[in-house]
Amino acid sequence: MAKTILAVDDSASIRQMVAFTLKGAGYEVIEAVDGQDALDKANIHKVNLVLTDINMPRMDGLKLLELLRKLAHYKTVPILMLTTESGDEIKAKGRAAGATGWLVKPFDPKRLLEVIGKVIG
């Protein structure tokens, strides 16, 4: 059975590029437009991995990460941050909140798939 990935980004073009890459590799993809939308969808679908942007309206990626880690199912699910941000301070915040990894945009599809393959097997 295909593994499901929740892709969270307020940019429609990024969501489409992520979905295109992941679906091409056989993953099922659920898209969310911000942290709140992602949280709602994460409660309905028990996904295998979350790939989230940081700077988003309504709820940012760090808050989403923090709230997901409080949910039983998401305590161990890999959560990767895919963002333009690359500062040490914000990275440390992500790490402390329980992020599995940090990917700086723009992403390369092959490398993205390698990393995802590594964390969800």
Q: Which amino acid is at 79?
A: I
Contact 28, 49 (CB under 8 A): no
Give the x/- contact pattern for other proteins in 70-99, rule: CB under 8 A: --------------xxxx--xx---x---x
Per CB under 8 A, 41 contacts other proteins? no
Q: How far is the CB of 72 from other proteins (least distance, A)?
A: 21
Q: How far is the CB of 18 from other proteins (least distance, A)?
A: 9
State which residue, 5 or 9, has the beta carbon closest to other proteins. 9
d(C-alpha 36, C-alpha 58), whole Å: 7
Per CB under 8 A, 64 contacts other proteins? no
d(C-alpha 25, C-alpha 23), whole Å: 5
d(C-alpha 121, C-alpha 118), whole Å: 5
- Sign of the C-alpha dihedral computed for residues 27, 70, 14 and 82 taken in this order: negative
Report the site for other proteins in 10-39 (rule: CB under 8 A). 10-14, 16-17, 20-21, 33-34, 36-37
d(C-alpha 112, C-alpha 115), whole Å: 5
Q: Where along the sequence are the contacts to other proteins (CB under 8 A)?
A: 9-14, 16-17, 20-21, 33-34, 36-37, 55-58, 84-87, 90-91, 95, 99-111, 115, 118-119
